[in-house]
């Protein structure tokens, strides 16, 4: 884990209110796993918390993260220009461990697609069956960065791009023969995924990446707790963000 002063290489709006920022690190941060994240300063000194953002692309010393313009922090990030320098702590969290799985279903909703794209790119020897859902055609982005997939389905809530519907329904309809499911998206999607797997008695292993408001990002402050099914707490930043879907309450 390193805290580095990175230089903004590019920071552009790639879809409505969605930005992609590419930063150049001064040195290698070591191997970055799909599903791991970084803690990025916003560049605004009055914002004391860094923003946890999933790794979306990484190429040598260049690393890209994507974010949705939502509050003051992401507004500051969106104002960053090429050449600006931002502190970045990385790599954080456990990431997706695909183990021996060969055929993998990938379910992504909204901004949840970004860590999934990097996970697929990092594991090009696997067969991916990918289901991505967006709000509407204006939110669709980064499809050009998706590596070759066995199946690639993009849907929107209003049908303005691809089919009409959500990523989970697209996956359930297609029902691909896979030995692992990985998912990242809004809490409501992950919750529905858990219920659907239980209802349909699908016992394929499933890994989900969670999101929570974070403090330190490294597991020390116990701010980003999630509830485990055994009754205990887990730290989303350190024990996660990726968990077995049966291990956590959604």
Distance CA 48, CA 50 (A): 7
Q: Using CB under 8 A as the criterion, what x/- string covers residues 42-61 for binding other proteins?
A: ---xxxxxx-----------
Based on the shown chain and the rule CB under 8 A, indicate whether residue 1 belongs to the binding site for other proteins. Answer: yes
| CB-neighbour burial class of residue 83 (10 A; exposed 0-12, middle 13-18, buried 19+) | exposed
Cα separation, 199 vs 245, in Å, equals 14
CA distance 163 to 221: 43
C-alpha distances (whole Å) from 14 to each of 83, 129, 184, 186, 198 are: 19, 24, 19, 20, 36
Rounded (10°) CA dihedral 98, 99, 100, 101: -20
Q: Residue 92 or 168: which CB sits closer to other proteins?
A: 92
Tokens linked to 88: 């970045």
- Per CB under 8 A, the segment of 125-133, 140-148, 188-196, 225-233 that binds other proteins is 225-233
> By CB under 8 A, is residue 214 in contact with other proteins?
yes
Residue closer to other proteins by CB (options 147, 219) is 219
Look at residues 40, 32, 117 and name the one whose alpha carbon lies nearest to residue 77.
40
Select 14 or 220, whichever has its Cβ closest to other proteins.
220
> Interface with other proteins includes 218 (CB under 8 A)?
yes
Q: State how far the Cα of 108 lies from the Cα of 115, in Å rounded to an integer.
A: 9
Q: Which two tokens stand for residue 179?
A: 């030995």
Q: According to the binding rule CB under 8 A, does residue 212 interact with other proteins?
A: yes
Q: Residues 35, 52, 54, 73: which binds other proteins (CB under 8 A)?
A: 73
Which residues, numbered 85-124, are part of the site for other proteins (CB under 8 A)? 87, 89
Q: Give the residue with the Cβ less far from other proteins, 87 or 121.
A: 87
Smallest gap from residue 89 Cβ to other proteins (A)? 5
Angle of helix 167-174 relative to helix 187-199, nearest 10 degrees? Answer: 20
Stretch that binds other proteins, among 23-31, 135-143, 162-170, 231-239 (CB under 8 A): 231-239
Is 220 a binding residue for other proteins by CB under 8 A? The answer is yes
Using CB under 8 A, which of the segments 8-16, 170-178, 182-190, 215-223 binds other proteins? Answer: 215-223
State the number of binding residues for other proteins (CB under 8 A): 33
Q: Are 133 and 140 in contact (CB under 8 A)?
A: no
Contact with other proteins (CB under 8 A) among 43, 163, 186, 215: 215
Cβ(207)–Cβ(249) under 8 Å?
Answer: no
Does 238 bind other proteins (CB under 8 A)? Our answer is yes
Q: Which residues bind other proteins (CB under 8 A)?
A: 1-3, 39, 41, 45-50, 72-73, 87, 89, 212-226, 232-233, 238
């Amino acid at each position: 884990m390193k805290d580095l002063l990175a230089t903004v290489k590019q920071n552009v709006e790639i879809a409505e209110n969605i930005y992609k920022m590419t930063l150049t690190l001064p040195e290698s941060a070591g191997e970055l796993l799909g599903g791991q994240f970084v803690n990025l300063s916003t560049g605004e000194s009055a914002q004391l918390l860094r923003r946890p953002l999933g790794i979306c692309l990484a190429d040598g010393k260049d690393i890209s993260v994507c974010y949705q313009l939502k509050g003051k922090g992401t507004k500051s990030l969106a104002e960053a220009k090429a050449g600006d320098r931002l502190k970045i702590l990385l790599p954080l969290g456990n990431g997706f461990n695909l183990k021996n799985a060969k055929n993998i279903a990938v379910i992504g909703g909204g901004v949840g697609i970004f860590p999934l794209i990097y996970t697929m790119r990092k594991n090009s020897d696997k067969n991916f069956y990918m289901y991505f859902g967006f709000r509407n055609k204006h939110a669709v982005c980064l499809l050009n960065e998706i590596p070759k997939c066995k199946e690639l389905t993009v849907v929107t809530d209003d049908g303005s791009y691809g089919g009409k519907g959500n990523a989970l329904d697209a996956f359930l309809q297609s029902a691909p023969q896979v030995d692992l499911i990985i998912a990242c998206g809004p809490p409501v999607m992950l919750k529905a995924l858990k219920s659907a797997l239980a209802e349909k008695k699908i016992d394929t292993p499933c890994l989900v990446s969670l999101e929570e408001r974070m403090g330190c990002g490294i597991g020390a402050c116990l701010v980003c707790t999630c509830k485990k099914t055994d009754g205990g707490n887990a730290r989303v930043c350190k024990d996660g963000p990726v968990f077995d879907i049966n291990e956590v309450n959604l």
